[in-house]
Amino acid sequence: MAHRRLSNTVADVSVGIETNGVTMVEVSRALATRSQSLMTYLKREGADRLTTGQITIEPKIDGSKGSEGRADRIVGYTGTMSVNFRSPADKVSDLMSGALAQGANTLGEVVFTSREEDVDAARKELAVEATHLAMEQAASVAKAAGSHIAGVREIDVDPQNATLDYAKAAYSAPKALMMAGLSAAPIATAAGDQDLSIAVNVQVEVAQ
C-alpha cells in the first residue's frame, strides 16, 4: 500500500435561491431576477462547471379547516432553484459571499477536493511506488526462506483500495430568512488536504 497527502485545490459549492409570494407569477419573476443576477455574477467571476440544478415552484397549502370546515386552500407559492459551481480553494470564500449578495439566499454543501488531473497523476505514481514496495517485501520474504525471486506471475493494482477521502466543509442549507441582510464579507474556510492510497498485489515465483 502506498499513501500520499494531496492538497485540496478546488471546492465544489452549491448555493440556492428561495422566493415566496402570493401568486405564481410573482414568485417566478422574483426567481428570474435573482437567478439572472446570480448567474451573471458567477460567470463574471470565472466560476467553473457552472450548473443549474433543480427549479421548482410549489403552492403553499393552508390545511386548517377552521369553524367553517373549508377544504385546503392555496395561500401562496414558494420558488426554489439550486446552482452548483467549482472554484479555486483560495477564491471560494469570496465567491460564496458574493453569490449570497448577488441573488442566492441559501448556502448548501461545500466540498474541498483535488483536481482530477492531479489525482490521476498521483495514482500513477503511487501504483509504481506500491509495486516497488510489494517487490521489496517479496524479496525480503524469499530471502528469509533461503530462496530468491525467480519471476513475477501477476501484478494486480487493486481498485477496491484506491481511495480518496474527500474533505467536506460543515455547511448545511440554512433557511432563506437566516441569510437575510448578510453582508458580502468573506466566509472563513480551510481547504485542508486528503489521503490518497493505492494497493498493489504481486504474485511471484521463488526458487532455491
CA dist list (Å): 131 to 5, 102, 106, 154, 162: 19, 51, 47, 11, 14
pTM for the structure as a whole: 0.75
User: How much is the pLDDT for 170?
Assistant: 41
Rounded distance between C-alpha atoms, residue 201 and residue 45, angstroms: 46
Mean pLDDT by 10 residues, the chain (208 residues): 92 95 95 96 95 92 67 87 95 92 92 92 92 93 92 82 52 42 66 89 91
Rounded distance between C-alpha atoms, residue 110 and residue 43, angstroms: 19
User: How much is the pLDDT for 173?
Assistant: 40
Q: What are the beta bridge partners of residue 55?
A: 81
User: How much is the pLDDT for 175?
Assistant: 44
User: How much is the pLDDT for 208?
Assistant: 86
